[in-house]
Amino acid sequence: MALVCCAAGVVAGCNAVEVQASLDVQAHLDGNSLHVTGTTDLPDGALLSYELRHEHYGHDVETPIDMLFADGMLTVHDGAVDATLDVSLFDSGAIDFDVAFSPTLRGDREQPSDVQARFGRQNEHLVGPNVTVAGDGSRRLSVSQTIAR
């Protein structure tokens, strides 16, 4: 039996705890700026990775990679994410924008220790809309959007 607990706490004596989390992120283009805003019930300090992929990414071997792909990190603060990303190097066309709360971060970064304590080292306690389970058992909460440029 699994107990679903809100992200704010865990019930004592519960062996299998599932922690519900949600993420709602929207992006809109304004010239060469991609404005990213969103809400979440993830805790302050949780790290979100993002990727921007131009529709020609993976197909166009002659265009420099920085004109087709960009990635980075966003930090949750007061239940929100807010950032402005520079997409001036991207040509016109569709851009896929993905944001994820994942235990695997770029480089050797990890989620903060309090975030790991709540969701597990591999997010094994994470449940909710848009949560997927990888072959290794780790869990990822992600949202995607395609933006026309």
Closest Cα partner for 42 from 16, 17, 74, 14?
74
Return d(Cα 123, Cα 115) in angstroms, integer: 9
Question: Across residues 77-91, what is the average pLDDT?
Answer: 96
pLDDT tier at 53, thresholds 50, 70, 90: very high
The pLDDT-based confidence of 15 (bands split at 50, 70, 90) is low
Which of 10-24, 78-92, 97-111 shows the lowest mean pLDDT across its residues?
A: 10-24
Residues 53-67, mean pLDDT to the nearest whole number:
93
- What pTM was estimated for this model as a whole? 0.85
Would you state the pLDDT for residue 94?
A: 96
Q: How far apart are CA 49 and CA 112, in angstroms?
A: 14
What's the rounded mean pLDDT across residues 129-140? 93
Token digits of residue 25: 């992120």
Instruction: Catalogue all structural domains in the chain, each as residue range(s) with its CATH number.
Output: 3-148 (2.60.40)
What's the residue count for the chain?
149
